[in-house]
Structure 1
Amino acid sequence: MKTIAIVDDDVYIGNMLEEALQKEGYAVLRAYSGTEALFLLSKHQPDIVLLDLMLPGLCGEEVLPKIRAIPVIIMSAKVSVDNKVQLLLDGAVDYVTKPFELKELLARIQVHLRPHATALGSEVLRYGDLCLDTKTHQVTAAGHSVRLTKTEFAILKYLMRNPNQVITKSQLLDQISADTPDCVESSLKVHVSNLRTKLREQDNKENIEAVWGIGFKLL
């Protein structure tokens, strides 16, 4: 189930959106101020953030640059083209002007939840501060580029395609064997350890948990 975070201090609009999104099968998170939004996002990883600009505490323009690796759709009554352009340059993926048509917003959400792909088969995976492009083999953590070996990349790609799941060692080895036939159970732990270190050096946090006796999962 995909999760949408609504950041809006207008209770009526928030309630309307929450009801509509739940009818469409989405889980919903709510925040009513910029500060609350950042706290919420430090604890949860929604698939999309719907962000109002006129918020108490930190305004939407201040919150937006602090949101990484999550698509943000701006919802605002501001209609200036310059405002829209600047927000898109600052990282928003879309902008809807209040009052908006609910059907249009739902359609935009669906579009941005589709895997990013090209005719050549590129897919961009996102999880927390991590971003991985399967076509270019580019990986970033908290916006910083991370250079990975072929094996480390294959491990991270499979974990990001299966977030919130504990992946057993045998399952991981089986899934990455086509890309990394030289990786065996005795060396897997070393590859994962090196991967964890490289990611931690960029975003200062643990991204992969070793589940004792079983395997690994993304945090």
Structure 2
Amino acid sequence: MSEIQTSVETRTGAGRSLSATPAPRILVVEDEAALSLLLAYNLEAEGFVVDRVERGDEAEIRLSEVIPDLIILDWMLPGVSGLEICRRLRAREVTRTLPVIMLTARGEESERVRGLSIGADDYVVKPFSVPELMARVRALLRRARPDRVAGVLSAGDLELDRQNWRVHRGSRDVHLGPTEFRLLEHLMEKPGRVFSRAQLLDSVWGLSAEIDERTVDVHVGRLRKALSNTGERDPIRTVRGAGYSFDETFSKA
């Protein structure tokens, strides 16, 4: 098991955590190949197992073979529409409570109401922020399958509580802004993996963000200052010419 605990931690009297559960499986049903690939890339970076199909009839076949933990479903699909797939999911006992996030270019209130009324749990209008969609995925999974999503990431004396948006180092609270929190979360999910500035911009700020890569350096600097008081070890590693990573040896210090 990784030193970073990626399971939902069940605290005992001794403060120990129990073993990890399998990663949640997400089915992405999207006929825009570039968007489908982008979603899969970001979901896999979050630690999910991802299946992708581009047609509604292909989704029906896949769902008959494997029931995922959540489905991201485009409204307009060839074969069978996303709206019809959602109706069928809610009509079947085995998929009645399957979490569904509907993607659509339709932003009118009447269309949102229609999507939610046929059983979608959430509704996201294109174009959307990828980090926001990832947050919606985690929130929906926490409600539907709390046993399958990491609620707490921990390494050494550092603990990040996703549900309550809190970070602790030892006995003290670490006060982070939203961007620094997401940055730390992203790095802790993959200890030892080096992320370039461009990759961090994509994952933390989103592809639509029109900001300079040097912005990453500024926020990493703020994160380091908040995490490490005088004499405390810095958990963020700079890889010259490559980017940043969460030090995988931090838990062993």
Equivalence map 1:65-104=2 (5 Å):
65-67=87-89, 68=95, 69-104=97-132
The match for 1:107 is: 135
1:64 deviation in Å?
A: 0.8
The match for 1:14 is: 36
The match for 2:226 is: none
Question: Residue 57 of structure 1 is aligned with which of 57, 79, 100?
Answer: 79
Secondary structure in 1 matching 2:50: strand
The TM-score normalised by the length of structure 2 is 0.45
**C-alpha contact 2:55 2:80 (8 A) present in aligned 1:** yes
The TM-score normalised by the length of structure 1 is 0.52
Question: Residue 3 of structure 1 is aligned with which of 25, 33, 38?
Answer: 25
The match for 1:202 is: none
Percent identity at matched positions? 37
Equivalence map 1:42-191=2 (5 Å):
42-67=64-89, 68=95, 69-116=97-144
Higher strand proportion, which one?
1
**C-alpha contact 2:29 2:71 (8 A) present in aligned 1:** yes
1:115 deviation in Å?
A: 3.7
1:116 deviation in Å?
A: 4.9
The match for 1:164 is: none
Secondary structure in 1 matching 2:77: coil
Task: Name the aligned partner's letter for residue 3 of structure 1.
Answer: R
**C-alpha contact 2:29 2:53 (8 A) present in aligned 1:** yes
1:45 deviation in Å?
A: 1.2
1:53 deviation in Å?
A: 1.1
Where in structure 2 are there 5+ consecutive unaligned residues? 1-22, 90-94, 148-253
The match for 2:59 is: 37
The match for 1:200 is: none
CA distance in 1, matches of 2:143, 2:56: 28
**C-alpha spacing 1:57/1:116, structure 2 compared with 1 (3 Å):** closer
Secondary structure in 2 matching 1:114: helix
CA distance in 2, matches of 1:17, 1:115: 21
CA distance in 1, matches of 2:88, 2:62: 12
1:57 deviation in Å?
A: 1.0
The match for 1:199 is: none
Secondary structure in 1 matching 2:58: helix
Task: Name the aligned partner's letter for residue 63 of structure 1.
Answer: I
1:25 deviation in Å?
A: 0.2
Aligned residues: 120
CA distance in 1, matches of 2:63, 2:46: 22
Where in structure 1 are there 5+ consecutive unaligned residues? 118-122, 125-219
Task: Name the aligned partner's letter for residue 55 of structure 1.
Answer: L
CA distance in 2, matches of 1:77, 1:19: 21
1:12 deviation in Å?
A: 0.1
**C-alpha spacing 1:43/1:116, structure 2 compared with 1 (3 Å):** closer
CA distance in 1, matches of 2:26, 2:59: 12
**C-alpha contact 2:99 2:144 (8 A) present in aligned 1:** no
CA distance in 2, matches of 1:71, 1:62: 15
Task: Name the aligned partner's letter for residue 56 of structure 1.
Answer: P
Superposition RMSD on alpha carbons, in Å? Answer: 2.0
Matched, 1:24 2:49: no
CA distance in 2, matches of 1:75, 1:43: 23
4+ residue runs over 3 A deviation: none
Secondary structure in 1 matching 2:83: helix
CA distance in 1, matches of 2:126, 2:143: 27
